[in-house]
Structures are given as structure tokens and as C-alpha cells.
Amino acid sequence: MANVNTAVIYYSSGGTNYQLAQWAAEGAKQAGSEVKLLKVAETAPQSAIDSNPAWKANHDATQHIPEASMADLEWADAIIFSMPTRFGNMPVQMKQFLDLTGGLWFHGKLANKVVSAMASAQNPHGGQEETILSLYTSMYHWGAIVAAPGYTDPSLFAAGGNPYGTSVTVGQDGKMIEDVKEAVLHQAKRTATVAGWVKAGLGKQ
């Protein structure tokens, strides 16, 4: 596989998507990729964070994770996103990050990036699929190549069978209900592998 750079970019309030992102980083590394684990900037006021113990605990525990930048997007051949759903859409923190990419898009720096996405919600039908698709809409504007997992591995069925990207339900106790680790690992490996194919093909042009 061509030398592939993978950026795993997430937003997490309670910690679920931080865990998904860590598994994705692990999977991309297993595929031989160089990996950056990155979070998008928090836009919520500190008072809101402090009012929710789980949110505050995750916020404090992830201070060491670098914030994603435009330079990280330019560096990456593959990008894996992970985020919770907000009323069937991506959270504003992720949307703000994407809205900052206009300069890179204008100069064609986002075309042919290989991307994939994951999501979480508190209910089995709480908008996970639509959240992933809402992010993919932006990726089509980039000219990116979406590497959805489809049904390319048995682990995806065990994880709930979301063909657009691994998704998980989070119980009232804050714990994931489905066992999705293997599906995340597969999705990340697949994304990095496809990016390798694309990078190798572009190099022959």
C-alpha cells in the first residue's frame, strides 16, 4: 500500500465518539497508515460543559488531544469522522469545522480525499444514518471519495448493520449498547486501504 496519512477527526461530549475515534485510529494503524487523532474545537460555553458531569469529565480528559486544523486536512489522504447526532444532523462543532474548509476547497486541496464517518445517538433510530449522510453531503462538494463500509465484513452485521458507517446506541448509563469495536476497526482499515489505492493510482497519472 502507498504510504497513507489518515486523520481521525471527532467531536465528543460524553466520550462515546472519542472511544470510536480511538478504535478508528487503531484500525488505520493496523492497515499500515500514519495516523493523527484529532478533535474539532469545542464551541459550547464553559457553563454548559460544567453543568453536565459526563461532558465535563470527557472535556477535561481529552485536553491532550490536538484540535484539527486545515493543515491536517491537507496532510491527510484518508479522513475518518466520528460525531454524535444532533436532531438528525451533525453537531455544530463539526459543522463549524467543515465551514472553515472553503479555502482548501477553492484551491482543490480536498478533492480525492478518501473519507468515511461514524455516529452515535441515544436511541436505535435516533438519526445516526442521517447524521452520517449529512456529513457525506459536504464531502461530495469537496470532491472526496466516500468509502462507506457497506456490508464488506461480518462485523458490520454484529454492530447493527449500518452500511453508511458504524453507528452506535448509547444507553442512559453512557455506555454503548452494541458491540461495534470490530466494525470500527474494519471501517478504518478499509478507508485507509482505499486511500492507498487512490494515492497509488493518482501517482501513475
Residue 39, SS3 per DSSP? strand
Q: What is the pTM of this model?
A: 0.95
Query: Grid coordinates in use for 204?
Result: 501513475
C-alpha distances in angstroms, 170 versus 6, 27, 92, 159, 200? Answer: 26, 22, 20, 13, 39
Q: Which CATH number fits domain 5-203: 3.40.50.360, 3.50.30.10, 2.60.40.3080, 3.30.420.40?
A: 3.40.50.360
Beta-bridge partner residues of 35: 6
Number of H helices, E strands in the chain: 9, 6
pLDDT score of 153: 95
Q: Which tens digit of pLDDT belongs to each residue from 62-95?
A: 999 999 999 999 999 999 999 999 999 999 999 9
Residue 103 has pLDDT above 60, yes or no: yes
H/E stretch holding 114 reads: strand 114-121
Identify residue 75 by its one-letter amino acid code.
Answer: W
Instruction: State mean pLDDT over 180-198.
Output: 97
Name the pairing type of β-strands 34-39 and 78-84.
unpaired
Q: Which tens digit of pLDDT belongs to each residue from 2-11?
A: 699 999 999 9
Residue 1 has pLDDT above 80, yes or no: no
H/E stretch holding 177 reads: none
User: Where are the domains positioned within the chain?
Assistant: 5-203
What is the spatial distance between Cα 131 and Cα 136, in angstroms, rounded to a whole number?
9
| Number of other residues whose CB lies within 10 A of the CB of residue 9 | 26
